[in-house]
Amino acid sequence: MILAYHRINPWYSDDALSVTPASFSRHIDFLLSKGFSPLSLAKYIREGYPAKTFCISFDDGYADNFHFAWPILQKYRIRPIIFLSLHYIGTEKLLPRYHDKEKDRFLSWKEVQTLSREGVDFGSHGLTHPKLTSLDRKKIWIELFQSKKELERNLGKKIEFFSYPFGDFNDAIANTVKNAGYTAAVVTSRALKKPDPYRIPRVGIYGHNSFLVYRIKVWKTLFEKIFS
């Protein structure tokens, strides 16, 4: 399974996108204690989505991924993937739900490059985090193709993976992702039992999910994987 997070920080108890470091560590401990094996996204796909394995992914590219999530994942030797909204990275832009310029900022390019050197994988979440189905074909292509090229230019690495903003896509957009040169794409909002490379399902984990809800999501996903 691929677990989809956004933010890891100790500041917000009522923000759906924020999971505390203590809860995040507990999530990882639980999976490992139950015999789940961590895989990078590339290996997970290459090995055919094996059932009792997990990948850790983050959307958007918040700076707290660097300061709180990565030290925890380093301890467990887990290689995550962060899907970046390119035109927020290295800027002072904040999403409307947030207001603190330090706590709520996105990663800087220096931080992205440091994480890349230390083993974190990166993918594209588009340039501006749009609902892709609301755009015309030209703007969709720019969001997909240009974000890939900008990320490759800044990291000096091939970018293979895309995450659909808001889980919003259709067949035409999935085909455009393929044509833009991505190897695969992930989506959180649709429970697709038999994924293809451009519709790989993820399990969304949110700040309001109790540990019981988290465990139910894990076992439900494993059950569906085994018996689908």
Bridge partners for 84 per DSSP: 60, 124
User: How sure is the predictor about 224, in pLDDT bands with cuts at 50, 70 and 90?
Assistant: confident
Per-residue pLDDT at 190 exceeds 60: no
pTM: 0.96
Q: Check which CATH number belongs to the domain holding 138 and give it.
A: 3.20.20.370
- Asked if 85 and 106 count as a contact pair (C-beta separation under 8 A), the reply is yes
Task: State which residues form the domain around 26.
Answer: 2-227
**pLDDT for residue 193:** 55
- 165 in Cβ contact with 85 (< 8 Å): yes
pLDDT, tens digit (0-9, with 9 covering 90-100), for 169-181 = 999 999 999 999 9
**How many domains does one find in the chain?**
1
Given a cut of 80, is residue 192 above it in pLDDT? Answer: no
**Across residues 173-192, what is the average pLDDT?**
88
| H or E element that contains 7 | strand 7-8
